[in-house]
Chain A
Amino acid sequence: MLEFYEPQADYGTPKSTSTNMVTLSIDGVEVTVPEGTSVMRAAAESGVKIPRLCATDQLKSFGSCRVCLVEIEGRRGFPVSCTTNVEAGMEVKTQSDEIGKLRRNVMELYISDHPLDCLTCPTNGDCELQDTAGELGLRSVRYGFEGENHLVAEKDESNPYFTFDPSKCIVCSRCVRACEEVQGTFALTIDGRGFESKVSASQAEDFMDSECVSCGACVNACPTATLTEKSIIEAGKPEHSVTTTCAYCGVGCSFKAEMKGSQVVRMTPYKDGKANEGHACVKGRFAFGYATHKDRITVPMIRDSIDDPWREVSWEEAVTYTAKRFKAIQAQYGRTSIGAISSSRCTNEEVYLVQKMVRAGFGNNNVDTCARVCHSPTGFGLKTTLGESAGTQTFASVADADVVIVMGANPTEAHPVFGSRLKRRLREGAKLIVIDPRKIELVSSPHITADYHLPVRPGTNVTLLNALAHVVVNEGLEAREYIADRCDVAEFEKWVAFIGDERHSPENTETITGVSAADLRAAARLYATGGNGAIFYGLGVTEHSQGSTAVMGIANLAMLTGNIGRDGVGVNPLRGQNNVQGSCDMGSFPHELPGYRHISDKATRDLFEGEWGVTLDSEPGLRIPNMFDAALDGEFKGLYCQGEDIAQSDPNTQHVEAALRSIECLVVQDIFLNETAKFAHVFLPGASFLEKDGTFTNAERRISRVRKVMPPLSGKADWEGTMALANALGCKMEYSHPSDIMDEIARLTPTFNGVSYDRLEQLGSIQWPCNDSTPEGTPIMHVDQFVRGKGFFAMTEYVATTERANRKFPLLLTTGRILSQYNVGAQTRRTDNSEWHGEDLIEIHPHDAEERGINHGDWVGINSRVGDTVLRADVTDRVKPGVVYTTFHHPVSGANVITTDNSDWATNCPEYKVTAVQLSKVTQPSNWQARQKSFDKQQQGLLKDARH
């Protein structure tokens, strides 16, 4: 919704969650609030604002500024309202001559040391100090301005997104507290005492050189212009705002896009967003500049061959050309010779339309989505064991967890806002077990130390999970009543016989996993007996040849210990991209229609056939790797690829490139000329999340609105581009707004029956299932029973990957993400985030480095069975000996030139996390990198020709 710009409401102190209510009187008006509420908040909730400087409802009350004092009947003096909690019958007075005088006295002291340059200050009109001085009627300052002050203090402008101007600082500590309480980084402190006290980043360093992670929490919290976004300094105060959803990771943070006309000047985390509750990370908060980057392509383009120059054309000509070529391909090679790949970066409505166009327009089921290469094992594993292809909890539920397992995930880098939430709970005392080959930040960071770090050897997750379950079963720690009530007991007994076998014991698996048997036993006991146990996992679980088995192993472990079906527990896949859950929900896999219903199910097909007016193919279509293979076999000739960069993100790049070169008509719809588009014949300009309406579904199954804040630069939102192509193909689509598409989804999908844009406006967001029986959605799943009825303990036999280290390839490469960059980097590389991570590095343990004569910063050749590339070395003990690690955010890195075609047995999710490699010192880029550079130069030239 579009609103005139107003700072978000601030109640001064956090909301109390108590269910006991207390009634008191404030300025003669009776007020009832939960026990534990501060007087300040109680007043604010009743419409009375008590002036304040150091208080904000995102932080615990602090009581340092002394501006918020009040009178309370029967109490001596003037209590501070932010640290005084309500009591029954309390009579509070917020205004009196005496109170006003005292508050003005305090303000005079603050103002005596503050520049009076309000008219030229970047936060003029949006400054709490200015507002408070106004509210108090401050008209003079008795102390003058001539004394020692901080006006000459140098500004710190090192951070690309915000400045620190110490002369504006009132030392309220809000920034320091935000860094601690909200973000959990502890990068800021107050140095010095009294008049000399000042905010300092790390050891009096520049922000950029400090431990600051640039989440912006300090900037949000600052009541003055001390910490200010550079975009605001440049553009001034916003004039309106639109609430929308971040398009980066699967946390799905809600933001206020703050605007001047159609220009975004700031993204402010929305306090009422249930996924993030007012917090953000460096990507969502600041890295939005890519949306208007000069590399954006905003005009459709076509060409007959990838060696031809692009030709800019109208939308009509582009879709007519595409439809003609797709029809000709089908006429020559058959109905199944074309297909589509959609992206988790697109909205639910967009991916729904892509699969509809494929099934109803192409006449086959050759549609797949990028979840194939990340969380498809989650869908398979959780559907098999629990009955639904989704995580079980809300993010907020972690506040009730007592023991947390983080497996194959790195929340503080890849899901940072959830990472902060998790760290908060850990600081409160929850126990932590990290299962990861690397020492991720959570293993040891300020005020957090993992109780157990199980540094599992890549490729042996299933053995480790089996060993954990073995300990629980053999030590009699299982939740017997829960299993008897909730699970298929006959299958459980079979599984117990399997898992109880001594071959699964920690002692017998120690040599396979590389994890100490004693640590593993202790971790299993902790999870089984430590209270509420919650498991959070990521691609370090799924992207293996046994990804699906590992997901089932996790579900088994949770059922075994009774840890599903209430707050504080559960199985929680951390989705990499913003709409992985949604793209899977929307029927983007080749074997199922929206709502995870198999294409062979006649009743479901009848439903869709009735709505769409076509006959649907009852057989599954091709998965992404099948499409590549079929392309190389000459059987797959046309591909529509929306928002997904398969040339960079899929494994075995040379295989993918060969497949793309053999496609006769490759259509790419994207905002940039990505790596895949360099092989394309048609380029349809995409729209960023700021340019369209729709919905994203995050890792909690939370459906949130994406709202258009600026017109699409190409003239069409992505759903309109797909609709135009579908109509050109003769597949009739008539939608006037994405809400029409959601209405169709709701009509056809039982778990979405209750979802509509109106309902989303009312509730803010909805966690599916949402239907007649759960009209406000379902925060926690499997509460009374599992969706499949009885929980199913799946057999989880360990099968070693065929990708093994040997003398030629003695190291195991695993991959991951970094905080400042996102996936293939197409967005974040076009922002100042590259100042933190300008290139991908290869992490290698000092021992392995020394053996090879590799020093920190050396160029290193990385050879695998399928290819080789060159990266700079980062010699570090974050990885253990025998394991190397890299990120994959830069195309030139060629991380996927090395990864193999090995994939999960059940879903074909690639085994990105295990590649046997050898490393050696080199002096020049790899042959592939040289070819990539030359190809890129050629394609950029062909693009440049089209644009001029």
Chain B
Amino acid sequence: MSESKLQRLVDMINQIALNMSANGGEQMVADQVAQHLEKFWAPPMKALITQQPLGVDIGLTPIAQIAVQSLLKIQQAKLD
């Protein structure tokens, strides 16, 4: 895995979260960010960001971290 590749995705999620920050409360914004990623990101990008170990600081902002967890749930729900 290329570190710069992960960093690019982290930067993108943080940017999306920041731009959606006025949309509502923390969880609502995080869910909207997750839906945005689900809607527009290709599977390898989604896989790379959701497969990062929990608790490891990869540079995500707090809302972006919650968004990634929401995205993981969306991904898991699709497998069920």
Contact (Cβ within 8 A) B40 A633: no
- Set B12, B22, B42: member contacting A621, Cβ < 8 A: B42
B58 on interface, CB distance cutoff 8 Å? no
Contact (Cβ within 8 A) A633 B15: no
Contact (A905, B15) CB under 8 Å given A498-B22, A633-B2: yes
Give A768-806 interface residues, CB cut-off 8 Å to B.
Answer: 795-797, 799
- Set B8, B16, B44, B45: member contacting A906, Cβ < 8 A: B16
Q: Mark B20-64, 1 if CB is under 8 A from A, else 0.
A: 111100000000000010011111110000000000000000000
List, in ascending order, chain A residues with CB within 8 A of B45's CB: 626
Report the minimum CB–CB distance from B11 to chain A (whole Å).
Answer: 9
Contact (Cβ within 8 A) A905 B19: yes
Give A208-254 interface residues, CB cut-off 8 Å to B.
Answer: none
Contact (Cβ within 8 A) B42 A635: no
- Set B12, B36, B43: member contacting A619, Cβ < 8 A: B43
Contact (Cβ within 8 A) B19 A633: no
List, in ascending order, chain B residues with CB within 8 A of A619's CB: 42-43
A336 on interface, CB distance cutoff 8 Å? yes
Give A590-610 interface residues, CB cut-off 8 Å to B.
Answer: 590-591, 598, 600
List, in ascending order, chain B residues with CB within 8 A of A626's CB: 42, 45
Give A892-944 interface residues, CB cut-off 8 Å to B.
Answer: 905-907
A531 on interface, CB distance cutoff 8 Å? no
Report the minimum CB–CB distance from B44 to chain A (whole Å).
Answer: 7
User: Which partner residue on chain A sits nearest B1 by CB separation?
Assistant: A633
Number of interface residues of B (CB under 8 A): 20
List, in ascending order, chain A residues with CB within 8 A of B36's CB: 906
A622 on interface, CB distance cutoff 8 Å? yes
Contact (Cβ within 8 A) A546 B5: no
Report the minimum CB–CB distance from A909 to chain B (whole Å).
Answer: 12
- Set B12, B41, B44: member contacting A635, Cβ < 8 A: B44
> Considering the chains assembled together, what is the distance between the CA atoms of A619 and B43 in angstroms?
7
List, in ascending order, chain A residues with CB within 8 A of B23's CB: 795
User: Residue among B21, B43, B45 with the most chain A CB within 10 A?
Assistant: B43
List, in ascending order, chain B residues with CB within 8 A of A598's CB: 39
> Considering the chains assembled together, what is the distance between the CA atoms of A876 and B16 in angstroms?
38
Report the minimum CB–CB distance from B4 to chain A (whole Å).
Answer: 9
- Set B16, B19, B20, B39: member contacting A591, Cβ < 8 A: B39
> Considering the chains assembled together, what is the distance between the CA atoms of A600 and B40 in angstroms?
10
> Considering the chains assembled together, what is the distance between the CA atoms of A629 and B9 in angstroms?
11
Give A619-635 interface residues, CB cut-off 8 Å to B.
Answer: 619-623, 626, 629-630, 633, 635
List, in ascending order, chain B residues with CB within 8 A of A347's CB: none
List, in ascending order, chain B residues with CB within 8 A of A906's CB: 16, 19, 36, 40
> Considering the chains assembled together, what is the distance between the CA atoms of A635 and B2 in angstroms?
12
Contact (Cβ within 8 A) B42 A336: yes
A545 on interface, CB distance cutoff 8 Å? yes
List, in ascending order, chain B residues with CB within 8 A of A905's CB: 12, 15-16, 18-19
Contact (Cβ within 8 A) B18 A591: no
Contact (Cβ within 8 A) A799 B18: yes
> Considering the chains assembled together, what is the distance between the CA atoms of A549 and B22 in angstroms?
12
> Considering the chains assembled together, what is the distance between the CA atoms of A907 and B23 in angstroms?
18
Contact (Cβ within 8 A) B22 A620: no
List, in ascending order, chain B residues with CB within 8 A of A797's CB: 18-19, 21-22
Contact (A620, B21) CB under 8 Å given A633-B2, A906-B16: no
List, in ascending order, chain B residues with CB within 8 A of A635's CB: 44
Contact (Cβ within 8 A) B19 A620: no
> Considering the chains assembled together, what is the distance between the CA atoms of A622 and B19 in angstroms?
22
> Considering the chains assembled together, what is the distance between the CA atoms of A498 and B44 in angstroms?
36
List, in ascending order, chain B residues with CB within 8 A of A795's CB: 20, 22-23
Contact (Cβ within 8 A) B40 A799: no
Report the minimum CB–CB distance from B38 to chain A (whole Å).
Answer: 8
Contact (Cβ within 8 A) B15 A545: yes
Contact (Cβ within 8 A) A546 B19: yes
User: Residue among B2, B12, B19, B21 with the most chain A CB within 10 A?
Assistant: B19
Give the number of residue pairs across the A-B interface with Cβ within 8 Å: 52
> Considering the chains assembled together, what is the distance between the CA atoms of A622 and B23 in angstroms?
27
List, in ascending order, chain A residues with CB within 8 A of B42's CB: 336, 365-366, 590, 619-622, 626
Q: Mark A877-905, 1 if CB is under 8 A from B, else 0.
A: 00000000000000000000000000001
List, in ascending order, chain A residues with CB within 8 A of B19's CB: 546, 549, 797, 799, 905-906
Contact (Cβ within 8 A) B15 A620: no
Contact (A620, B8) CB under 8 Å given A799-B18, A905-B15: no
> Considering the chains assembled together, what is the distance between the CA atoms of A429 and B14 in angstroms?
47
User: Which partner residue on chain A sits nearest B43 by CB separation?
Assistant: A619
List, in ascending order, chain B residues with CB within 8 A of A629's CB: 5, 8
Contact (Cβ within 8 A) A620 B5: no
List, in ascending order, chain A residues with CB within 8 A of B20's CB: 795
> Considering the chains assembled together, what is the distance between the CA atoms of A622 and B43 in angstroms?
9
Contact (A620, B18) CB under 8 Å given A633-B2, A795-B23, A906-B36: no
User: Which partner residue on chain B sits nearest A797 by CB separation?
Assistant: B22
Contact (Cβ within 8 A) B39 A620: yes
> Considering the chains assembled together, what is the distance between the CA atoms of A620 and B39 in angstroms?
7
Contact (Cβ within 8 A) B16 A620: no
Report the minimum CB–CB distance from B15 to chain A (whole Å).
Answer: 5
> Considering the chains assembled together, what is the distance between the CA atoms of A795 and B20 in angstroms?
8
List, in ascending order, chain B residues with CB within 8 A of A549's CB: 19
List, in ascending order, chain B residues with CB within 8 A of A365's CB: 42
List, in ascending order, chain A residues with CB within 8 A of B2's CB: 633
Report the minimum CB–CB distance from B34 to chain A (whole Å).
Answer: 14
> Considering the chains assembled together, what is the distance between the CA atoms of A796 and B21 in angstroms?
9
Report the minimum CB–CB distance from B32 to chain A (whole Å).
Answer: 10
Q: Mark A630-652, 1 if CB is under 8 A from B, else 0.
A: 10010100000000000000000
> Considering the chains assembled together, what is the distance between the CA atoms of A591 and B42 in angstroms?
9
Report the minimum CB–CB distance from B39 to chain A (whole Å).
Answer: 6
Contact (A336, B22) CB under 8 Å given A629-B5, A629-B8, A633-B5: no
Q: Mark A507-549, 1 if CB is under 8 A from B, else 0.
A: 0000000000000000000000000000000000000011001
User: Which partner residue on chain B sits nearest A618 by CB separation?
Assistant: B78
Contact (Cβ within 8 A) A620 B40: yes
List, in ascending order, chain A residues with CB within 8 A of B15's CB: 545, 799, 905
Report the minimum CB–CB distance from A375 to chain B (whole Å).
Answer: 16
User: Residue among B5, B12, B15, B45 with the most chain A CB within 10 A?
Assistant: B15
Q: Mark A566-594, 1 if CB is under 8 A from B, else 0.
A: 00000000000000000000000011000
List, in ascending order, chain B residues with CB within 8 A of A336's CB: 42-44
User: Residue among A366, A621, A630, A795 with the most chain B CB within 10 A?
Assistant: A795
> Considering the chains assembled together, what is the distance between the CA atoms of A795 and B22 in angstroms?
6
Give A193-213 interface residues, CB cut-off 8 Å to B.
Answer: none
List, in ascending order, chain A residues with CB within 8 A of B40's CB: 591, 620, 623, 906-907
Report the minimum CB–CB distance from A744 to chain B (whole Å).
Answer: 26
> Considering the chains assembled together, what is the distance between the CA atoms of A906 and B15 in angstroms?
9
User: Which partner residue on chain A sits nearest B11 by CB separation?
Assistant: A802
> Considering the chains assembled together, what is the distance between the CA atoms of A907 and B41 in angstroms?
10
List, in ascending order, chain A residues with CB within 8 A of B5's CB: 629, 633
> Considering the chains assembled together, what is the distance between the CA atoms of A336 and B19 in angstroms?
30
Contact (Cβ within 8 A) B44 A620: no
List, in ascending order, chain A residues with CB within 8 A of B18's CB: 797, 799, 905
> Considering the chains assembled together, what is the distance between the CA atoms of A546 and B15 in angstroms?
10
Report the minimum CB–CB distance from A546 to chain B (whole Å).
Answer: 7
> Considering the chains assembled together, what is the distance between the CA atoms of A695 and B23 in angstroms?
40
Report the minimum CB–CB distance from B75 to chain A (whole Å).
Answer: 10
**Additional A-B contacts beyond A795-B23, A797-B19, A797-B22 (8; CB < 8 A):** A366-B42, A545-B15, A630-B44, A796-B22, A799-B19, A905-B16, A906-B19, A907-B40
20 contacts between A and B (CB under 8 A): A365-B42, A366-B42, A498-B22, A591-B40, A600-B39, A619-B42, A619-B43, A620-B41, A621-B42, A626-B42, A626-B45, A629-B8, A633-B2, A633-B5, A795-B22, A795-B23, A797-B22, A905-B15, A905-B18, A906-B16
Which 10 pairs from chain A and chain B are nearest by CB? Answer: A797-B22, A795-B22, A905-B19, A905-B15, A619-B43, A622-B42, A795-B23, A799-B18, A905-B16, A799-B19
